[in-house]
Amino acid sequence: MARRVFFSFEYEHDVSRANVVRQSGMTKGFEAAGYVDATEFEKVKRRGDAAIQEWIDDQLTGTSVTAVLVGADTCSSKWVQYEIDKSIKRGNGLLGVDISQINDLQGNTTTCCGSIPKGYDFYRWFSDKGYENLGTWIEKAAKAAEK
């Protein structure tokens, strides 16, 4: 079954890493929500915090799972925390994926700041074979949330 997934990540430093994960599903047939276009995000950001919250809330509509893509700065992002809190409140399945070892556009990797709230599964993109297993992880999170 295809799931609508919201991908939560720290935009400024991890968008290229997040795109690797988000685009990996394109050939595997699951639908992704929460696509972030740089121009759209900058427009929303200029309108302030209330606009960002509204945009996030809209992006979460119709999703059943939130995948938190964790890099070096994810743990300190107020917007990632907001997305996690809203996802839990709406009953979305939740999972975390360490994306720190995925190369950015300059070929650099980073560190992982931590994981997600206790009680939710956390995976490492490379060692847990994310390209092969992301759909399975999403389905497991959805079932755990009874979605």
As a whole number of angstroms, the distance between CA 66 and CA 44 comes to: 21
Q: Which domain holds residue 132?
A: 5-144
Residues 97-125: pLDDT tens digits? 999 999 999 999 999 999 999 999 999 99
Q: Are 65 and 145 in contact (CB under 8 A)?
A: yes
Please name which of 76, 119, 66 lies closest in space to residue 97, comparing C-alpha atoms: 66
- What three-state secondary structure class fits 123? strand
- What CATH number did the domain enclosing 128 receive? 3.40.50
Q: What is the pTM of this model?
A: 0.90
Domains contained in the chain, number: 1
Instruction: Indicate the pLDDT class of residue 38, thresholds 50, 70 and 90.
Output: low
Residue 127 has pLDDT above 80, yes or no: yes
